[in-house]
Amino acid sequence: MAARESLEVDAGTLTTQRILGRVATYAALLFFSVLFLFPLVWMLTTSLKSIGEINTSQPVWFPSPPQWENYKIVTAKLNFWRYALNTVMLCVLTVTGTVLSCSLAAYGFSRIKWPGRDKLFIITLGTMMIPFPVLMVPLYALFKEFGWVGTFKPLWVPAFFASAYNIFLLRQFFMTIPQDLTDAAVVDGCSEFRIFWQMIIPLARSALMVVGLFCFMAVWNDFLGPLIYLSNENDFTLALGLQAFQSQHGGTDTNLLMAAGSVMVLPVIVLFFFTQKSFIEGISLTGLKL
């Protein structure tokens, strides 16, 4: 009887410890979530403030009343729709080129055996250690010879020639797909391209969405590339247009600048919420055996 009571006490203590552990974990997650979300919330609230509320000595946490016309002023002065169209066009072209080229290269490195494959893959990974500033001048000289400076081509054409990081990510995922599937397809007479297109691509949808989302965010937030190659104001992207908006007339009011930043970051947040399931699934499955 005493042993039974002792076991019940131990079980109760263990349950209490588990509950306290979960509470502590959730409290820590909540704290860090609020910590990371605070700059975003501050940007949103600042975008709705009047210039008087911004210039007060005491910070105003909630604008009263909200100045929704700040967004109308920003979209009119920023030429938002033109810049958004340019940015979306670049995102579509770059994501398409990146997914196609990197998936093809990753398939060759993971599913096809050929002499020197692993050595060439190591060399490909080595290119990740070369920073963009090292390549910036020679690339500019090359694109200038092509007559592409001042156009969108330097910003999306290189995406069709693959990148080492995305090749690595997709290769690791392709290697988790059982080889027996492709072997059976070869016995049935399928070509390599048909195996790639009808078998590998559908199974790797999550990983491809991760690559596409990474690429979309990189292009959407890219500032250096458009700054180097674009000179016509009508060709500006949102990042470059936001910088021009900030510097015009010696500086822009903070509330308008925060409104412009909110408009720019909103599509990325919305896209992530719609694709978060596939994004997390693709990240968690990459490199694991099925």
- 92 and 208 in a single domain? The answer is yes
Is residue 191 situated within a structural domain? yes
Span 82-91, pLDDT tens digits: 998 999 999 9
- 17 and 81 in a single domain? The answer is no
- 113 and 225 in a single domain? The answer is yes
Residues of the chain with pLDDT below 50 are: 3, 7, 287-290
3-class SS of residue 284: helix
Q: Which domain holds residue 160?
A: 69-285
- 43 and 134 in a single domain? The answer is no
- 139 and 273 in a single domain? The answer is yes
- 33 and 73 in a single domain? The answer is no
Is residue 125 situated within a structural domain? yes
Confidence (pLDDT) at 290:
41
Q: What percent of the chain has pLDDT over 90?
A: 32
- 43 and 131 in a single domain? The answer is no
3-class SS of residue 217: helix
Say whether the peptide bond before residue 131 is cis (omega within 30 degrees of 0): no
Is residue 144 situated within a structural domain? yes
Helices (H) and strands (E) in the chain, counts: 15, 0
- 190 and 92 in a single domain? The answer is yes
Is residue 113 situated within a structural domain? yes
Question: DSSP H helical segments within 127-178, as ranges?
Answer: 132-146, 153-156, 164-174
- pTM score of the predicted model: 0.81
Q: What percent of the chain has pLDDT over 70?
A: 88
Is residue 58 situated within a structural domain? no
By C-alpha distance, which of 206, 232, 227, 201 is closest to 286?
Answer: 206
Is residue 160 situated within a structural domain? yes
Side-chain-facing half-sphere of 83: CA atoms under 13 Å? 28
- 227 and 90 in a single domain? The answer is yes
Span 100-126, pLDDT tens digits: 999 999 999 998 888 999 999 999 999
Is residue 112 situated within a structural domain? yes
92 vs 96: CA distance, rounded Å: 6
- 93 and 22 in a single domain? The answer is no
Within a 10 A sphere around the Cβ of 164, how many other Cβ atoms? 18
Q: Are 80 and 263 in contact (CB under 8 A)?
A: yes
Confidence (pLDDT) at 283:
55
Is residue 62 situated within a structural domain? no
By C-alpha distance, which of 103, 119, 53 is closest to 253?
Answer: 53
The CATH number assigned to the domain holding 123 equals: 1.10.3720.10
- Torsion sign across C-alpha atoms 206, 208, 211, 216: negative
- 42 and 179 in a single domain? The answer is no
Confidence (pLDDT) at 210:
87
- 150 and 7 in a single domain? The answer is no
The tally of domains found in the chain comes to: 2
